[in-house]
A and B are shown apart, each in its own frame.
Chain A
């Protein structure tokens, strides 16, 4: 069990049980007000986001693509960490598996792009199945170590298999003709991100999705309700690997070449950091975390070039890992729910709830009585 995802933010816009948005918390006396998402603000935000590829200058188009891909990886990690309560410090490996599979499918097997995407997903899911089958027997800390070791092994050994990955020279991964241009490719990545978010939304409405989420707080309770704990942990791992693999396939075709050095441990760490900073357990939070961390180096460079005030005068893109680390520590120590928690009021309002602070005290610890009996 991990508390990288502490007290969850009530997110009425989040359809967990396949029904309409849960009613906002109101005192018992008042009649329940049906919650309708506030369409106009949502539409504005969506339009702003969707017009990015058309608005940014050509040099930054690939950053937009990469941001969408990071968002996809954030969702994948959220399934494992936020829903199932497990951990992975080796997710760059799944990104890489997807990237190299797609590259191989495109260059060596001559598959069309959709086929390459499918290959990437299947290969990642397969490897996740094998790794998870072995590694999920051990919990928490040891699982983290295994995923780290796996990530390093993937980078040094798996991604160096010349016949499959082109060795040091890298594997070419050409874009499909329809999306060859940077603008078009950015829209493709955004579209896939939207699909992944939709899948995640539906997943939480299924028996499997609910079972996975039940694992996080207390596995014993889930087991006592007849939920096959090991089986669903493995399912979460496989789904997580598959989605990351899909992101990897898109990743490969951003630069249209992919090499082993694209997938170091620091990338895995960044992935986990962005999920935690975004707000584990909340899909909108983690996507934002992904977008932020992908754009951070560019952001820092822009600030450095245009804002001639300390500290921006000294901080360039190379400081990005340090900034990310500081954001992580701040989140863990002071803002456990991450960006999602900070935006709690806003997210609630967009979903149709009240903007004012939730009148019911929320948070895990109730007065006294929940203490453990030895």
Chain B
């Protein structure tokens, strides 16, 4: 069952056609990779799907509902979570506080009772912290729990960002280059984590990454973008041997990826 579909999505900025007729289909529980050289439009696609850009053509469907005209907040509340290329966190907060704000959509008690510090609100506060701790433990970030964001290393922040998105309790997780600046080892560990997320949390995951071998290893299905259009799509083995894809990444004459 498709959880996310884009139907002929195109978008222009001034004179530049950033995306042309991109159609994808992502089924429940899949891990899907989005590949493509720099400037291919991968993040632009994420921005259209999550609602920060309005496509000039095409529709976006989330759980079979047309969400093209919905604000990002609404799509997030429907279970769409994403990370950003520049780490998307509240810098003035600690790690824990970020994970608590991220649970915003699930907080039930009224603000009045929270201001007055009444019982139900206090109980919910404790629950928010407990849930945040659980997510941090899942991601192996327990030791940075109370550290302010400003001051943590970049790689750690990328993982904290993933943790924050997990705290929003999404059904679909869109990861925009989570491994930027990571070592091969860290990358491999993260891919195991992605598998774990699918298995234990039942998430559907869409992954933009430049680390081609890792993407091919982890994904069930891969889309390749180039100059705003879909260059190729298919299971990893097909993409691996695809000459056009190899040339897009490595120039003419290349025959295969990874």
Q: Which residues of A contact B (CB under 8 A)?
A: 7-8, 10, 16-19, 22-23, 25, 28, 199, 202-203, 205-211, 213-214, 216-218, 220-229, 281, 360-364, 366-370, 372-374
Q: Which residues of A contact B153 (CB under 8 A)?
A: 366
B111, A206: Cβ atoms closer than 8 Å: yes
How far apart are the CA atoms of A356 and B91 in the complex, in Å? 23
A208, B90: Cβ atoms closer than 8 Å: no
Extra A-B contacts (8), CB below 8 Å, given A18-B125, A366-B157: A205-B117, A220-B88, A224-B84, A225-B165, A226-B73, A226-B104, A366-B151, A373-B38
A364, B125: Cβ atoms closer than 8 Å: no
Q: Which residues of B contact A16 (CB under 8 A)?
A: 93, 97
**A239 nearest CB across to chain B (Å):** 11
15 contacts across the A-B interface (CB closer than 8 A): A18-B122, A19-B125, A25-B151, A205-B114, A210-B97, A210-B101, A213-B92, A213-B93, A223-B52, A223-B76, A224-B72, A360-B147, A362-B150, A367-B154, A370-B86
B117, A17: Cβ atoms closer than 8 Å: no
A-contact bits for B168-204, CB 8 A (1 contact / 0 none)? 1000000001001100000000000000000000000
Asked if B222 is an interface residue, CB under 8 A from chain A, the answer is: no
- A370-B105 CB under 8 A given contacts A220-B88, A224-B88, A226-B76: no
How far apart are the CA atoms of A10 and B153 in the complex, in Å? 17
- A211-B38 CB under 8 A given contacts A25-B148, A206-B111, A220-B88: no
B residues 116-149 in Cβ contact with A at 8 Å? 116-117, 121-122, 125, 129, 143, 146-148
**B183 nearest CB across to chain A (Å):** 13
A373, B105: Cβ atoms closer than 8 Å: no
B43, B73, B94, B111: the one within 8 Å of A207 (CB): B111
How far apart are the CA atoms of A248 and B183 in the complex, in Å? 58
Give the residue name and chain of the A residue nearest to B114 (CB).
A206
Chain B: number of interface residues, binned into ranges:
35 or more
Q: Which residues of A contact B88 (CB under 8 A)?
A: 218, 220-221, 224
Give the residue name and chain of the B residue nearest to A369 (CB).
B154
Task: Tell me whether chain A's interface is mostly helix, strand or loop, or mixed.
Answer: loop
A366, B154: Cβ atoms closer than 8 Å: yes
**B113 nearest CB across to chain A (Å):** 9
A-contact bits for B72-110, CB 8 A (1 contact / 0 none)? 110011000110111111111110110011101101010
B50, A224: Cβ atoms closer than 8 Å: yes
A23, A360, A370: the one within 8 Å of B154 (CB): A370
- A363-B100 CB under 8 A given contacts A281-B92, A372-B86: no
A202, B76: Cβ atoms closer than 8 Å: no
Asked if B258 is an interface residue, CB under 8 A from chain A, the answer is: no
How far apart are the CA atoms of A221 and B143 in the complex, in Å? 24
A10, A211, A213, A369: the one within 8 Å of B148 (CB): A10
How far apart are the CA atoms of A202 and B118 in the complex, in Å? 12
B147, A224: Cβ atoms closer than 8 Å: no
B111, A226: Cβ atoms closer than 8 Å: no
Q: Which residues of B contact A374 (CB under 8 A)?
A: 39
How far apart are the CA atoms of A25 and B143 in the complex, in Å? 12
How far apart are the CA atoms of A220 and B71 in the complex, in Å? 11
Give the one of A18, A19, A208 with max B CB within 10 A: A18
Asked if B1 is an interface residue, CB under 8 A from chain A, the answer is: no
Q: Which residues of A contact B165 (CB under 8 A)?
A: 224-225
A19, B93: Cβ atoms closer than 8 Å: no
